[in-house]
Amino acid sequence: MKYKKTLLFTLVLGFSVYQLTPIYQFYAHKHKAPMLPWGFISIPKNAPLTSNTFSDEYQETASIATSELAKHRAQINAPGLSVAVAIDNNLVWNAAVGWADLENNIPMTPNTKVRIGSTSKALTSAGLARLVAQQKLSLDTPLEDIFTNLPNSDWAKITPRQLASHMAGIPHYKDNTEITGMIKTAKLNTYYENVEDAVALFDESELRFLPGEQFEYSSLGTVLLSAAMQHSAGMSYQDWMQQQVFTPLSLLDTQTEQQAKSSSKLAQFYWHDKETSESVRPWRNVDLSHRLAGGGWISTSSDLAKFGQGFISDNFISRNIRQEFWTPQKLNNGEVNSQSYAIGWRANELNLRGELGWVSYSHHGGVSRGAQSFLMVIPKYKLSLAVNINSNTEVFSDFSEIVRPLARLFISQYLENTKQEELLGLNAAVIK
């Protein structure tokens, strides 16, 4: 009898530890519980560096930019950083500094695959735009007309426009009132092949507000949007994205993490206590498939820069649709939402300073488990720029602040190149 009680106690204890460990890790990685003291790896002082310039005109600019990137990595104590710049439909420079995998001494390269977090929403926006262009879906069609069996009757009047602009009332992760689903999104240990199975994690949750009445950022809203896209496309969300976005733009390294796991190019992701700390800890194993459309895609800086060029190409997305997708959306009361959020993108003004001044730009950042990402597109100068890191910073802007000086460098060189071409054209005309 004593043996049976001991066995039962051991089984119950083991099961409890198994169930609670992911929850504890969730809070420890969010700095809300003590991190276990073992498993830390020191970041070496001398970081490997790779830089590729694809146009002779940008050689000097790329050299300066590479130095700035190396300084930035050291300043924020990042394991690894990658960056890419594309202008006028051409990749002009990409670079990487640091390590993709510290333990195995694998350098970060421009082709290292990383989690891009909420930058995934910009990718999903492109898939949505392609559906709209092919008249398979309207931004203002209510969900009750898209789904055969809508999981939640409160969602009936919600539209894809509201989901894509965070004005639908769908909760963000921490506000999910469906307890079982909220626990699963904290554990992060379940794989979801079908985006509709991920919707089941919050389909009984209460709306935060009536659709269109307020703005509240919600990645779960983008997950629901991906299910609506799937119904409208007549194929899985993943297949639609591959056929309509990734393949046409030759985004060869953009994929689900499930696919990327078999690649030697996938980075190791790290937990960083503080930016002043010179050691990091490998992030716990997580499965982010439940948030694929809103925060789960894997990509590279080069692919994201190419994607940005695709979005400003009339051959990929028409001018009218692009303008609509990059226009900050209005609430029911006619006011623009508080974050100037458009359809899957943020649309703001950026001060490039000096003679370049203020410009309109569309952008999206992402924070993931052990990774951060930022993509910006400046249509006026036909520039797209992406930067990625395989750890987290305490403040997102500590990581992303590198984009403005890099953009200035390459835009200035682009304008100089344009002037030279105009002069050559004038000289040729005079000679004739």
Per-residue pLDDT tens digits of the chain, which is 432 residues long: 666 656 555 555 555 444 556 665 566 666 666 666 778 999 998 999 999 999 999 999 999 999 999 999 999 999 999 999 999 999 999 999 999 999 999 999 999 999 999 999 999 999 999 999 999 999 999 999 999 999 999 999 999 999 999 999 999 999 999 999 999 988 999 999 999 999 999 999 999 999 999 999 999 999 999 999 999 999 999 999 999 999 999 999 999 999 999 999 999 999 988 766 889 999 999 999 999 999 999 999 999 999 999 999 999 999 999 999 999 999 999 999 999 999 999 999 999 999 999 999 999 999 999 999 999 999 999 999 999 999 999 999 999 999 999 999 999 999 999 987 665 554 544 445
CATH number at residue 110: 3.40.710.10
In a domain, 280, yes or no: yes
In a domain, 30, yes or no: no
> Which residues make beta-bridge pairs with 358?
351
In a domain, 72, yes or no: yes
In a domain, 3, yes or no: no
Helix, strand, coil fractions of the chain, as percent rounded to 5: 45, 20, 40
Identify the CA nearest to 391 among candidates 372, 374, 373: 372
Cα(308)–Cα(122) distance, rounded to whole angstroms?
Answer: 9
* Region of 198 on the Ramachandran plot (φ > 0 left; ψ -120 to 50 alpha; else beta): alpha
Structure pTM?
0.92
pLDDT of residue 1: 60
Cα 174 to Cα 166, 186, 202, 226, 418: the distances in Å are: 15, 9, 11, 20, 49
Q: What 3 state SS string does 160-216 have? A: HHHHHCCCCCCCCHHHCCCHHHHHHHHHCCCCCCCHHHHHCCCCCCCCCCCCCCCCC
pLDDT of residue 242: 98
Amino acid at 182: M
Opening angle at CA 319, ends 318 and 323, nearest 5: 120
Write out the residue range of the structural domain in which residue 303 sits.
41-431
Secondary structure (DSSP) of 341-403: B-SSSEEEEEE--GGG-EEEEEEEEEEETTEEEEEEEEGGGTEEEEEEESS--SSHHHHHTTH
Q: Strand order in 114-115's β-sheet?
A: 114-115, 297-299, 255-256
Q: Mapping DSSP to helix (H, G, I), strand (E, B) and coil, where does residue 230 land?
A: helix
Opening angle at CA 397, ends 391 and 399, nearest 5: 35
In a domain, 10, yes or no: no
CB atoms near residue 196 (< 10 Å): 19
Cα 167 to Cα 63, 319, 426: the distances in Å are: 43, 24, 52
pLDDT of residue 430: 43
CB atoms near residue 257 (< 10 Å): 19
Cα(172)–Cα(8) distance, rounded to whole angstroms?
Answer: 39
Cα(168)–Cα(170) distance, rounded to whole angstroms?
Answer: 6
> Which residues make beta-bridge pairs with 266?
113
Backbone phi, then psi, for 139, in 5-degree steps? -60, -20
- Residue 35, C-beta contacts closer than 8 angstroms, at least 6 positions apart: 28, 29, 271, 273, 281
Tell me how many domains the chain contains.
1
Cα(108)–Cα(98) distance, rounded to whole angstroms?
Answer: 6
Backbone phi, then psi, for 120, in 5-degree steps? -55, -30
In a domain, 23, yes or no: no
In a domain, 8, yes or no: no
Identify the CA nearest to 166 among candidates 224, 226, 220, 215: 215
Cα(172)–Cα(208) distance, rounded to whole angstroms?
Answer: 9
Cβ 342 vs Cβ 360: under 8 Å: no
In a domain, 15, yes or no: no
HSE-up (13 A, CA, CB side) for residue 183: 6
Backbone phi, then psi, for 358, in 5-degree steps? -90, 140
